[in-house]
Structure 1
Amino acid sequence: MLSGDGPPWADTVRGLAHRVLGPVAESVRFAARDGDGHEYACEAAGGVLSIAATDGVSASVALHHYLREHCGTSVGWDTVLPLGLTSLPDAPLRQSVARVREGYYFNFCTYSYTMPYWDWADWEREIDWMALHGITMPLAITGHEAVLHAAYSLLGLDDQQIRGFLGGPGYLPFQFMGCLDNFAGPLSSSWIESHRELGARVLDRERAFGMTPVLPAFTGHVPPEIASTARAGRRYWQGFESWVLDPADPLYERIGAEIARAQIKLFGTDHLYAADPFIEMIPIDADPAFPGAVAAATLAGLQAADPDAVWLMQAWPFSYQRDFWTEERVNAFLDAIPDDRMLVADLWAEHDPLWDRFQEFSGKPWLWCALLNFGGRTDPGADLRGMPAGIEAALAGPMPSAGLGLSMEATRNNPVFFELVADQIWNEVPDLDAWLDAFVSQRYGTRGRQAAGLRAAWRGLLGSVYDARGVRIAPDQFKGVLTAGPSYARIPGGVAELRADAARALWYQPAVLAEAWERLIEVAEHDRDLPAGPLGHDLVEVGVAYMARVADRCHLDAVERSVLLGAASAPEIDRFLRVFDDLDRMLACRPEYTFQHWEAKALSHAGDPADRDVLADNARRIITVWGTSDSPLLDDYAGRHWSGLVGGYYRDRWALWADGLDRALAAPGESEAELRERLRERAELFLREGAPPAPGDLGDLATESRRLFTAYAGQAGPLAQPQEHDR
């Protein structure tokens, strides 16, 4: 099977194999394989695994398929590496071809909500995950601030003006999309330099696997110093104001070209560029022909620097502002670009597919993408059964999707959903139950009774939180009181509305979820090593799912009893607040579920006290108030069930609510303004001081999970199940 010289990607994949397998990786051999797409052939005999592939990603997928099918183990975000394999079992020849040309990954927002503070070790692990899961086309924006600094320096701005325009490091992706500028900064010179180096290293590794990274491009968004002397208009996003050039101004094309040239000089190019000139912002001119003018100017700027440029655009605006984006406007925009110069990402296709609404985007190549997660929220939930059918429909259309993508706003949540999407880059999933059983066994690397218990637990999850058929999992939906901003607006007259909110968040029977949770706990108690890996993540995620509904139940009890009494009911309020304390203990058992871990990663980049202040502010701000403490527009958007937030920030807010409940009941409507001010003050305190330390005297995760389950099992219901039309 193996022939020819060693392929150029072999050393890169060999490095991945060593990080995944440890010493046994010495028994893996790689060779080139001819093919027009992504293909591999692999077999194992006599303790040697031989892989021939068209590219490094296909070789990595081959390795992962072998591990899953013949070693009973997979590599996920939480897998402890290297794996404990001591030999490689024999396996017959397997040949496979990818079902689609591309596997796309990331969303601009992902870079703010997951990896703004990553170092090379974090990125190396992530790029390995990408290769193993068939990602060929990652969005790559690390270090783009260095590109903008270089380009705007050539355009006459000084260092202070540019760094002020760029704003804080945690918000850079939103700056790159044109949503805001000069916010939560300034950006330090040391950050720009270090992330230029990090971005180059990330791109080098991605390209070494054979990936084709997508680099950012100009969106028309400019610093105010440039806007003041150009044809420009103001636009608004979530309370932020920015300036955008009119495409008729020659500066539009010139700046686009300067940015592309600076980027090519610093990072090279694979001729793919991402720009979203209208992301959640209505164009500054309502003329239906205006979007086409923006499109033409954007592409002209790119092609002035790179004649082979292809523009990748997220179709999100067509969904988010569908009243504005009529078929006429969308077609005017798309028709302004030759079909071979644009690639469209249908960003939320698992819920709101646009490809069939806009006739496969007027002939443009397009990507079916799954979003699911907004802001990095930690609530588990998805429609696992419905998603494969959506993908199959996209692949069977008149102009099939050119690829499948993972476009979540944050990673490290709902791994089963994203693994299922990624698997379909290479494999059809005709039987979800069989796929899930294999996923579970491979995820934990378990056999026998333990595997049976885990599979039973996941059947329960499939019948509860992952049975969200017809449910809109979106930022504007009620997510539960744990991370919600307290209010008296529905007290005392709106109790029925509060109950309806809680019911809509419960599209399943709580007892089914509770049984699944207990099965996971039992496995963790039997094998105390398993929670160090993916089981630990899943224990926390399922615990959060159940306790979020317990909190809703306890909140309703507190409100209903207090309304009945005409005064705050201390026992019910105490019980409600105790949920926060108890859940916080369980969360503290996994570092990635602590606020302290997030903030420590941010502060690891601090070069001096001024950097430290900006980094701490950014880390605290984006997952709480997001913008300013007096703006409700994005408050709690990225609500995280993290230790330090649940038992600190969120609990403190509800304690303030409880303190004023007597006054709110005595004088409805008069206490809301006072509560708003007290909550604003609490937010400002958090931005200055951060979260309290993690709870002390913790048991291990299995112990804390059992303690939580014993205290609260059976307390999520009864809540009325929502009617079908409420979904």
Structure 2
Amino acid sequence: MSSGDGEQVPGWADTVRGLAHRVLGPVAASVCFAARDGDGRGYAYEAAAGVLTIAATDGVSASVALHHYLREHCGLSVGWDTELPLAVPSLPAAPRREGTARVREGYYFNFCTFSYTMPYWDWADWEREIDWMALHGITMPLAVTGHEAAMHAAYSELGLDDRQIRRFLGGPGYLPFQFMGCLDDFAGPLPASWIESHRELGARILDRERAFGMTPVLPAFTGHVPREIAATARAGRRTWQGFETWVLDPADPLYARIGAEIARAQIKLFGTGHLYAADPFIEMIPIDADPAYPGAVAAATLAGLLEADPEAVWLMQAWPFSYQRDFWTKDRVTAFLDAIPDGRMLVADLWAEHDPLWGEFEEFAGKPWLWCALLNFGGRTDPVAGLRGVPAAVDAALAAGRPPAGLGLAMEATRNNPVFFELVADQIWHQVPDVAAWLDAFVTERYGRPGRGIEAGLRAAWRGLLDTVYGADGLRISPDRFKGVLTANPTYAWTRDGGAELRAAVAGTLWYRPAVLARAWERLIDAAEREPGLVAGPLGHDLAEAGIAYLARVADRRCVEVVESGGDPEQVARFLKVFEDLDRMLACRPEFTFRHWEDKALSWAAGPEDRAVLRDNARRIITVWGTVDSPLLDDYAGRHWAGLVGGYYRDRWELWARGLAAALAGEPGAEAELARRLRERSEDFLREGAAPVEPGDLAAESRRLHTAYAGAFGDVPGDVPGDAFGDARGDVSGGASGGVAGGADPVLEDER
């Protein structure tokens, strides 16, 4: 490297060298690292004679440099599902290249992510994830694994016994919701073995993140306390989704004391980077309507943190300001934020890709803030996003008078819609002026330059996805919108007026032409058949997602046909067969199976009692979520997984079909009888789970489904008449961004 780059070996070098070895295998020995001076985050790299030299300001920037080199000179990227190590026999030459981060921080995770994606991860899973974080510029990850150990220690000091504390903490699959103050004493008690095992895992995660130079954000006290403490303190009741909890009055000195006890216990166990996440109002209106009350909560929260850590900075998600706008008026938000010194709070604008709050609240009254993308709710596996609008939204934030301190990925679950999150993460370091050009590069790097003909077909496939499922710009993508019948809890409300309500809901899921999606899916299948080795990696994930996207809309259509036919048995059979066929395809990919999820949960069991709790948590949260009697969160975390689609979901729709004739005839007890049967099916699932499924050949199953269903909408590529139910936004000319409108198929000649 030229002068200006330090000669000394930086402290993070061994950590990044370990990452390089996991990514590259033996060739990583030819990567050298050096320190680089600079106020912000930056790097420089060059490669010659088979040696890559990277100089960087910190370990994350060095990891980003390695990833940028691999993408730019090897045509390879590292995604969540990339097979490692990469097939790089030697390091090609590269001229000096410098990079500077556009923002100081890259934030990652949401409390919910730790329930919906990684509650049962082990160190191998976490090591892979932390590598992904470093390669993508994440510097500020939320870190909640093992926090239960800090809470156990703090409440022990406060006089509670082990049994009381573990009951309060509840089931391991629900711990993040406990940490947010949403529920307690639910789906547990917490196994004793869990606390120690996850204290060790949490410490190991934090050690690795810090070794890269990341500053993890640790949980903090929200005012939520066990009933034993509430009984002798000034405390009030509050509810979240039907769950009742107790919260301390901020005027009670115990509020700050407990906050300090938990922070001290956490620092003793895990150390600190002085960043703490607490959301005392997450989806819960403050229990006191006094406008000064939120400020009092803020003062007590901060007082407890500062008593334990004088350098503490509080990170809060701005989600309440969006979720409960009727309460959180501009005056209330401003009063709350003004109660906290500017240097003591960092605000995460959680859903900024759809509902940005930074402009509405004047960049959060001078507080440092993070622009975050959310997209995914509950870990749902629907392939959907609005890609084209994201760069403009980021650029607008960075051009603000007080721009964000960082960009973040705040999804409720990872491992879905990777293209969206890769696009957001890229903008930590690069501006993206042209999404179509970015997408072409993404395809090349995702599949590793699979060959000119195959690559052309894959690029065309992704342009089709961009014009369909990934062209949802301007649409609200959230759980309170109809997501399709596959994972929906059946109801006879949809049969009114000859199914008009169902037809309207189904129309809202088709803002694009099904034929364009079918052709994109087919191109992915073509690539899988021509290059079978790609299927084990990202292409297999993309095949599954494309199949879900198309078959979900077929299921919607066939459900409408069942209602319109009055429950004709042949139409019912056609409808239920979609579930069976999709289940068979999903079984080919482990991460799309229920069994994979449950097995990971049970791997933590130390005995029969642990197994019972872990099994229940794994089954419950992705189905009824709470109790079988409460509809409030039922199917919130619905997944297109083998064992669920062809079992649990199919069975529910079969029960619906059995009573459909009675419902259409207006029999008054039909809905109540359906509810009873569905409740019984949920109870059966919680007891028995899903039957194991046999994996097959994904490319073959995908081809079989495409052959059977590609013409389900009566349209074909090159002659697209528009969807069968109209368009929810009045535009069927190719989706939000304009797409393939018929005529010549944009397939390059060499694709064939």
Using the size of structure 2 for normalisation, the TM-score is: 0.95
Mapping of 1:196-235 within 5 angstroms?
196-235=199-238
Paired position in structure 2 for 1:525: 529
Mapping 1:463-478, distance limit 5 Å? 463-478=467-482
What residue identity is the alignment partner of 1:642?
A: W
1:720 paired to 2:726: yes
Q: Does 1:480 pair with 2:479?
A: no
Runs of 4+ in 1 over 3 A off after TM superposition: 724-727
1:565 aligns with: none
Instruction: Look up the match of 2:350.
Output: 347
Any conservation in 1 of the 2:498–2:564 contact (CA below 8 Å)?
no
Q: Is the 8 A contact 2:386 2:471 kept in 1?
A: yes
Letter in 1 for 2:216: P
Give me the whole-angstrom Cα distance separating, in 1, the residues matched to 2:730 and 2:520: 24
Structure 1 residue 389 displacement after superposition: 0.3
Shift of 1:666: 2.3
1:222-256 C-alpha deviation (Å, 9 max, x unpaired) = 00000000000000000000000000000000000
Residue number in structure 1 paired with 2:133: 130
Which residue is equivalent to 1:283?
286
Deviation of 1:714 (Å): 1.9
Q: Which residue of 2 aligns with 1:704?
A: 701
Q: Does 1:183 align with 2:186?
A: yes
Q: Cα distance, 1:68 vs. partner? A: 0.2
Task: Name 2:538's counterpart in structure 1.
Answer: 534
Matches within 5 A, 1:547-626: 547-562=551-566, 568-626=567-625
Alpha-carbon distance in structure 1 between the residues aligned to 2:6 and 2:253: 54
For residue 328 of structure 1, report the CA deviation from its aligned partner.
1.4
Which deviates more from structure 2 when the two are superposed, residues 489-498 or residues 40-49?
489-498
The answer for the alignment partner of 2:173 in structure 1 is 170
State the Cα distance separating 1:433 from its structure 2 match: 1.0
Once residues 470 and 156 of structure 1 are traced to their aligned partners in structure 2, the CA distance between those partners, rounded to angstroms, is 52
Which SS does the other structure have where 1:152 is aligned? helix
The 1-side partners of 2:354 and 2:730 are apart by 16
Aligned twin of 2:364: 361
Aligned equivalents of 1:668, 1:325: Cα separation in 2: 44
Given the alignment of the two structures, is residue 338 of structure 1 paired with residue 352 of structure 2, yes or no? no
Structure 2 CA distance for aligned equivalents of residues 669 and 171 of structure 1: 38
- Please point out which of 482, 498, 501 is paired with 1:497: 501
Opposite residue 252 of structure 2, the aligned amino acid is D
Q: Distance in 1 between matches of 2:725 and 2:32?
A: 57
Amino acid at match of 1:606: A
Give a deviation string over 1:279-331, Cα, whole Å, max 9, x none: 00000101111000000110010000000000000000000000000111111
Give 1:271's match in structure 2, choosing from 265, 271, 274. Answer: 274
TM-superposed CA distance for 1:495, in Å, is 1.2
Local SS of the residue matching 1:40:
strand
Q: Quick one: which amino acid aligns to residue 454 of structure 1?
A: L
SS in 2 for 1:313: strand
Distance 2:672 2:696 in 1: 41
Does structure 2 conserve the Cα–Cα contact (< 8 Å) formed by 1:282 and 1:324? yes
Q: Secondary structure of the residue that 2:532 maps to in structure 1?
A: coil
What is the deviation of 1:332? 1.3
Shift of 1:670: 2.4
What is aligned with 1:116? 119
Is 1:98 paired with 2:95?
A: no
Unaligned runs of 5+ in 2: 714-722, 737-752
Q: Distance in 2 between matches of 1:73 and 1:21?
A: 11
Give the TM-score of the pair, scaled to structure 1: 0.98
SS in 1 for 2:559: helix
Q: For 2:691 and 2:659, how far apart are their aligned partners in 1?
A: 24
Confirm or deny that 1:639 pairs with 2:641: no
Q: What amino acid is the match of 1:721? A: D
| Number of corresponding residues | 720
AA of the residue aligned to 2:215: T
Determine the C-alpha separation between the residues in 2 that align with 1:58 and 1:589.
37
Instruction: Specify every segment of 5 or more residues in structure 1 that has no aligned partner in the other structure, as ranges.
Output: 563-567
Pairing partner for 2:254 from 244, 251, 260: 251
How much has 1:490 moved relative to structure 2? 3.0
Q: What residue in structure 2 maps to residue 314 of structure 1? A: 317
| Structure 1 letter corresponding to 2:705 | L
Residues 1:407 and 2:407 aligned together: no
CA distance in 2, matches of 1:719, 1:527: 37
Deviation at 1:715, TM superposition (A): 1.1
Contact 1:30 1:50 in 2 (8 A): yes
State whether structure 2 residue 685 is matched by structure 1 residue 682: no
Q: CA deviation at 1:662?
A: 2.0
- Deviation, 1:724, is 4.8
CA contact (8 A) 1:382 1:467 kept: yes
Cα distance in 2, alignment partners of residues 108 and 171 from structure 1? 10
Distance 1:685 1:136 in 2: 44
3-state SS, counterpart of residue 483 of structure 1: coil
| SS class of match (2:107) | strand
1:85 matches 2:104: no
How far apart, CA to CA, are the structure 1 residues paired with 2:520 and 2:619? 33
Aligned to 2:74: 71
Q: Secondary structure at the match of 1:643?
A: coil
Instruction: State whether structure 2 residue 357 is matched by structure 1 residue 393.
Output: no
C-alpha deviation, 1:614, in angstroms: 0.3
- TM-aligned CA deviation for residue 493 of structure 1: 2.2
Does structure 1 retain, via aligned residues, the 8 Å contact 2:6–2:37? Answer: no
Q: Is the CA contact (8 Å cut-off) linking 2:495 and 2:502 kept in structure 1? A: no
Q: 1:26 pairs with 26, 29, 44, which one?
A: 29
* 1:85 shift after superposition: 0.8
Distance 1:517 1:665 in 2: 37
CA distance in 1, matches of 2:673, 2:687: 21
TM-fit CA distance, 1:668: 4.0
Letter in 2 for 1:87: S
Q: 1:418-477 CA deviation, whole Å, 9 max, x = no partner?
A: 000000000000111111000000000023111111000000001111110211001100
User: Match of 1:719, SS?
Assistant: coil
Deviation at 1:3, TM superposition (A): 3.8
Correspondence list, 1:33-72, <5 A = 33-72=36-75
Q: Indicate the SS of the match to 1:364.
A: coil
1:37-59 CA deviation, whole Å, 9 max, x = no partner?
11100000000000000100000
Q: C-alpha separation between the residues in 2 aligned to 1:435 and 1:491?
A: 44
Structure 1 counterpart of 2:369, one-letter code = W
In structure 2, distance between residues paired with 1:502 and 1:270: 48
How many Å separate the matches in 2 of 1:360 and 1:95? 31
Alpha-carbon distance in 2 for matches of 1:400, 1:666: 60
Residues 584 and 644, structure 1, Cα contact 8 Å, conserved in 2: yes
Q: Which residue number corresponds to residue 512 of structure 2?
A: 508
RMSD over aligned Cα, in angstroms? 1.1
Letter in 1 for 2:709: Y
Between the aligned partners of 2:525 and 2:320, the Cα distance in structure 1 is 43
**Which residue type is aligned with residue 348 of structure 1?**
W
CA distance in 2, matches of 1:385, 1:494: 37
- Report deviation, 1:699: 3.6
SS of equivalent residue, structure 1 residue 723: coil
Residue 50 of structure 1 aligns to a residue whose secondary structure is strand
1:194 aligns with 2:197: yes
Report the CA distance between 1:492 and its aligned residue: 4.0
C-alpha distance in 2 between matches for 1:530 and 1:196: 38
The 2-side partners of 1:669 and 1:503 are apart by: 28
Deviates more, 1:24-33 or 1:664-673: 664-673
- Residues 491, 668 of structure 1: 8 Å contact kept: no
Paired residue type of 1:588:
A
